Every structure is written in C-alpha cells, then in structure tokens.
Amino acid sequence: MFAPFLRRWGLDVDGEEIVTPRARLLPVTRLGQPAMLKTALFPSEIHGNAVMTWWDGQGAARVLAAAGATVLLERAEPTGTLVRLYDEGRDAEAIAVIADVAAALHAPRTAAAPVGAARLSDWFVDLPPAAERLGGVLHDSATAAAELFGEATDEMLLHGDLHHDNILHFGERGWLAIDPKGVQGERIFEFVPQLFDPDARTALDVSKLDRQIGLTVASAGVDPARLRLWLLAWAGLLATWWSEDGKPPEPSLSVAKAVAATWPGADERRPKYS
C-alpha cells in the first residue's frame, strides 16, 4: 500500500504501521523531517483528506503531499495530546485550545471548499425512527434535533469530530486538528463532541459536564441553551448508533437524560410522542 508513495515522495520509514478501522498510517521522514503517511479506506475519510488540504495548515496539520486517498501530513509530537491537560487538571486550558483551533478552522478562505460534504442533518435521519421504536429520552433528542434544524444558523464546513484525540501538538506550530469529517452544519455543533471527553466517567458526572459546558460557552462564545440543545440531540443520536451496533448506549443515554431533565418545556413536548 505505501511502497509507491515512499518512492514517489522520497520517504523513509520511521516506525510501525498504525492500523485503524478507517485508515492506515505510517510514520516516515522526508529529508530528515518527521511526517505521517495516511491512506484513507472510506469515501468519508478521503473527503476528510480533501478538507485537510483545503485548510492548508491553518488550524490543522499541514498536508505536505496528496494523491487520491493518500496524503503526507506533518507529524505531531509523541506526547502532544489534550487528554494530558485533563489528566493534569487543566481542563479550562484544554477547552480554550479547542475553541482556538475551531476559530482557525472556521476562518474565511479564498479557495472554494471541497465539494461532496455531507450535511449534518443527514447524520440525524436515524434518530426519529429510533425515538418511535425505543421511546424514552430519545423522543426529547429527536424533538431537539427537529428544532435545531428548523432554525439552523451560522452554517459552515465543520471538522465534525473535534474532540481531544483529534487535536495534537505540533511543536512550534502549536495545537492543530487532524481527522476531520468535513460536514456542513451549524458552527455551534463543532463544540459538542468534546463534551463527551476525555472519557466516559467525565461525561457521566453531571457536575463535570456542567463545568465543561460553562468553559465552552466562555471560550467559544456560543449560546449555552443552544449548546445544550445540540448536546441533547447528539447524545440521542450516539445512543441510537451504538444500540444499532449492538453496543451499550452509555454514556450517551445518561447524558441525554441529564440534559433533558433541565430542558425548559420538556414535559410539554413529550405527549405528542405518546
């Protein structure tokens, strides 16, 4: 898989191959400089490569070379992870980093965005049927999603999966994003996936979750009520997907219940699903 690109781009192998469900990666060097060779295995990941190229190193790892499903990326520092900041009790600093990276990714660009981006609303088509089938808090999640898409604002091309494992430290270049989904949707959604990080225990602790929401609102300048509404919708969708894959729906189901419990007017919304 990698041999043609090693020859084409003058690369030397610098580590073991990394295998993920959606891509293959190989640490390499080019002219002595560390880099990462990545071959995407799914259309959505190939689209993500195009988005990375379009970002041109602004808020994201720089694409050094590209050919179809394969890209050569600048390589992050081995210990550069936002999870480390959480382990050190620096969650406010970590969320500020996420906000800064998002701002860089969302900045206007002169070149046209890559075509073929999925719409965020397409991701949520599985939620209403699941709410009818399974009931419970998924009704609230489906209602929240309908409200959000009924009055969507500030739409743009999003990373779509901007959590702590997808923002790495690149030395002098600082914190940068990797592995985008490249989905078209409302800007505020960009700050929702990170609310489930850095681990399930944090997401299930309501006081910690509230703190993360507060820090996100302060750092990213987003509306707290709408952020919670997106969290309610997203938690329900994740629970749906995990259930359909035969996996336990936690912590998403508990997060959805915690948010729904404080959602104004939730009780009045439920009867139409009864």
For the question of residue 161 being annotated catalytic, the response is yes
Q: H or E element: which one contains 63?
A: strand 63-67
Q: Determine if the peptide bond prior to 251 is cis (ω within 30°).
A: yes
DSSP structural state of residue 171: G
For tokens 């988005």, the residue is 51
Q: Are 36 and 47 in contact, with CB atoms under 8 Å apart?
A: no
Size (the chain), residues: 274
> Distance (Å, rounded) from C-alpha 37 to C-alpha 28?
7
Nearest to 252 by CA among 261, 243, 263: 243
C-beta atoms surrounding 166 within 10 Å: 22
CB 236 within 8 A of CB 136: no
Q: Are 71 and 63 in contact (CB under 8 A)?
A: yes
CA atoms of 95 and 22, how far apart (whole Å): 27
The dihedral through the CA atoms of 101, 104, 107, 113 has a sign that is negative
Catalytic residue among 14, 100, 126, 161: 161
C-alpha dihedral (13, 15, 19, 23), degrees to nearest 10: -50
- CB distance 160 to 181 below 8 Å: yes
Amino acid identity, position 77: E
User: Annotated catalytic sites, by residue?
Assistant: 161
